[in-house]
Each structure stands twice: as structure tokens, then as C-alpha cells.
Structure 1
Amino acid sequence: MADNTEAMQNTADSEAPDYASMTADELFERGKHNSKIVKDYAEAAECFSRCVEIRSANNPYDNALRECYLWYADSLLTKEEENQSMFASAVDTGTDGSLPSAETVLENAGQKEASDETLAFEMFQIAFHCYKDFLESQSSKGPEMEKEVLDASYCCVRLGDMFFTNNQFPEAAAEYQRAVELRRQYHVPERHLASIYVSLAQCQMFSGQLGLALRTFTESKEIMMRLLMGNMTDEEQQRMKDTVEDVDIQIADLKKLIESVSTKTDNQGSQCNAADLVPQTTVCYIQCT
């Protein structure tokens, strides 16, 4: 039995990746493969961590690192989402929303006690900083920048998702709004806007901003109705129709709530907390990055 155990251990050791012998490019490609194909987000994060460590040696804020930071952050967050192990307390955005020190973040990444969700949050912040720096260095705002803009705004979307999961709706709304504004600025096709508008409207609704949420839900529906007139698969079309139906329900409920709030506040001396009147949403998210 002891011999078998030793043999199994030797086999496992021989199959373990030799990270030390890999270049930064090899680590990056292996990380992407583990994230996209194998769905092994733990090993993907390990690869990206080592890749970032190598590439950031000279300047951790180099915008050439933007994609590596993004993949690293997304692997960490996806791993935590699969484990359903997210923030136990409010997410700290930093002093006045300031960017965390990349040197400190990278140093903490090597500590076993480092929290993956906190590390992911900070990596998304640094990734967005690098993408923003890159976009500002480019003179073009045309279609050729679409991938970079989508990736940059995806950082904001994922930061918003983390706030949303933790019921920090004003902070989530700010991130979703930032993603919308960036995609609008670069005239990204509307198919990349619909789902963010739904998320933004939900945050506004849960924050008690009923009128604003109503306008955002209405705008999201208008976008989806235009998209339904274009080319899409039957599955995509059905998913979007289902989302439109749910948005219609939210719009109808919000109109009733706004009327209810208006009626109550018209009564002298009455008090009404609009946020308490917001129902639980049933909106299903359409897949869109």
C-alpha cells in the first residue's frame, strides 16, 4: 500500500506544471487555455499570477499589462463565484476611489492569507487604469478600438457585479454607468449595451431611485426591441424576448410604485421609504459583454 501511495505521489508530481521553466507568454497562453477551455480557474489564476509577476517587474502600471491583469482578475472572481464565496462585508473602494498601489497588490498576491475576491477587485481596478491609459494614448476612436473598449468597460462591469452581489447598489450603479458611458463614447454596437442597462436599472431600483430606474429600464427595452429586428439565432432571440417580458413587468411595477409614493407623500405628515417598496426582481440577464 505504501508503494502504491508513493507511486501515485510521484505520478502527480511528474504531471504538475513546471511553472518555473515557462516564459511569461507561455504562462499567459496556458492561463487563457485553463480559463476558456478547461474551466480550471484556480490553475488559470496561478498562471496569470506568475505571468504578471514577470511582466510587471519594471513598471506594474505599464498599459501593456492590461490584458494580463484583466484575465487574472476574472479568473480569480469566477473561481470565487463558483465557490459562492464572496465578500462577507462591504467592499472597500479605497480612499476617494483612489487606485490601489500596484506594488502592494502584487506583493499581497503572493501571501497565502490574501483574499481572492479582494485581490480580484483590486486587479480589476488596476486593469481598468491600464486600459484607460492605453485608450488615452490612442488617437483613434473608431471600430478598430472596439475590443479594447469592451475589455476596458468589462472591468467596470465586473466591479459592478461584485458590488451588486454585496448589495452595494449605489456603488454598483456607478460602475455600470461608467461602462455605459465608455461604450457610448466609442460608439460600440448596441448589442453590447442592453445587459448593462438592465443591471444599471436594477441598481437604481434597489437604491430607491424609482424614476431614474424607470427611464433606464425603458431605454434598455428600446435597445432590445431594435436588436430583435436584426440578425440573431433563435436561441438569442428567445432569450432576449424573455428579458423584454421581464423588463415590461418591472416597468409596470415601477409605474405603480411611483404612483404609490406620490400618493403617500401628498398626505401631510406621511413618510415613505421608496426603497422599501421595491419588489424583488425577476429579470433574467441576457449574455452580453
Structure 2
Amino acid sequence: MTEWFTETLHPWLAQRLRMDRVLYREKTEHQDLIIFENEKFGRVLTLDGVVQTTEGDEFVYHEMLTHVPLTAHGNAKRVLIIGGGDGGMAREVLKHPEVEHLTMVEIDRAVVDMSVEHLPSLSAGAFDDPRFDLVITDGAAYVAETGDRFDVIIVDSTDPIGPGEVLFTAEFYANCKRCLTEGGIVVTQNGVPALQGSEVTNSWNRLGKSFADVWFFVAPVPTYQGGFMAFGWATDDKAKRKTELSVLEERFAKADITTRYYTPAVHQGSFALPRFILDLLK
């Protein structure tokens, strides 16, 4: 009998993925975790009934949420990832030779362990890099308490429900600001604006309480239904969002990074928002 994974996105919308082979299924201390194989998308990681990432299209999400802030910054030596237990974000960050230290704070050790075992292509050895440091704790508590400072903070969170809810608050964003070096950048996962417009509006207002320059950039991730996915951008250095294309191209060429989606031109264009997203910035 064919088993299907049904993700109820909204009361009026759901998507189904065929579960060709279930690799792991367990209720951890924090959430329900399932990893399964699908003919089209490869291996799929889900948490609490929501698809988090797939081998088939993870590169779009992970490349955009890392290479946009790191290339715009130009010299990010210390990076912090909140979440990111599957390892895809760490993989992309560590492609940048200027990065000297990467801290990843993940609340659920099982996500890391099971991703290493069943989704090894996502981390691709990143967890063994000597520059990498894994901290198993609550991300909101970490930014509130740590004495470390970072050039870029990447918030690779679930949606604002359950364990991820606290990572969308004004207090959390203020604590991220506290952890940044001068001119540092915070980027966030902000859902699909066509279906989750309130996430963009809320983050726009809450980030704006702490940062001088707040905006969003977008990319289409096929797994996440509804078109463009939005990524939040916040910094006090207004020039970084408007870095010239020639500078982005020079930095990216120097880093000598191979990508499947990100290019400097895509980077620059991703900040041009369609009207319906601009209308959410109130």
C-alpha cells in the first residue's frame, strides 16, 4: 500500500509527497521527525508535519540564505547559524575561505544526528570542518546570553509555531543585534509571502525596531508552495544591501565557489520585490 506524507499548509491548502521509503520516524524531545525518500525530490526531512528540506531543491534555499549576506558583507570571519540542523547552511557558509569560525546553534540533537546518517549530502562533511562548532541549546537563549560577536547571523528557523515561534520576536531580533559586530548582517527565513504575508509584515516591523536597514530578498523554492520565498535582511550598514554588481562579482570570483542557483546577478535582482510584497511592508 502506498504511503503519502500530507502537509496541511493552511485550512484550504495541502500538499502530498509519496513516501517511497521511510528512513526514520520518531517523536524527539522537541518535535516529530520523519525522513523519507521520494522519487522526484530524493530524501525529505519533515518536522511536526511540515517539509523542511529535500535533496531535490535544497540548494536554492541554502545558497541564497548564505551567499547573499556573506558576499554582501565581503569579509565575514565569524558566522552564527540559528537552527540549520540538516547541515546545508553550514556547508555553504564554509565554502567561503574568509570564514574563520562558524557556530551553529540547534535545539534538537536528533535532527543533526539523523541528517548526518540519512541526509549526508546536505552537510557534505561540514560538521567535520575544524572551523565548525556545534552548540545544542535554544537559539533565543543563546543570543541573549553569549559574549561572542559575529559578522553574519543566519536564522534558519522553522515557521513561527512551536519551537520556532520565539525566533520571530522583537526581543530575539534585538538580541541578534547585540551579537553583531559593527556593520554585521542578520538574515532570516520568512515564509512564502503569497500565503504567509503576516510573517513578512511582522518581521518588517519587529526588525525595524533594532536595525537601520531592513528589507527582504526572494527566491523560488519548489518544495515551499506558493511561489517566492522571502528572506529577511537587517543591518545598520545601509550600503551593504546596495553593493554594486561588479563588487559582488569580484568577491564571488575570488571565493571560487561553485553554486547551482546563486549568482551575483541573482543576488542583486533578488532585492527587487514585486508589488504584492511591497504592500506587506507596513
TM-score, normalization by structure 2: 0.28
Counting strand residues as a fraction of each chain, which structure ranks higher? 2
Larger relative contact order (CA 8 Å, sep ≥ 6): 2
Counting helix residues as a fraction of each chain, which structure ranks higher? 1
TM-score, normalization by structure 1: 0.28
**Structure number, greater radius of gyration:** 1
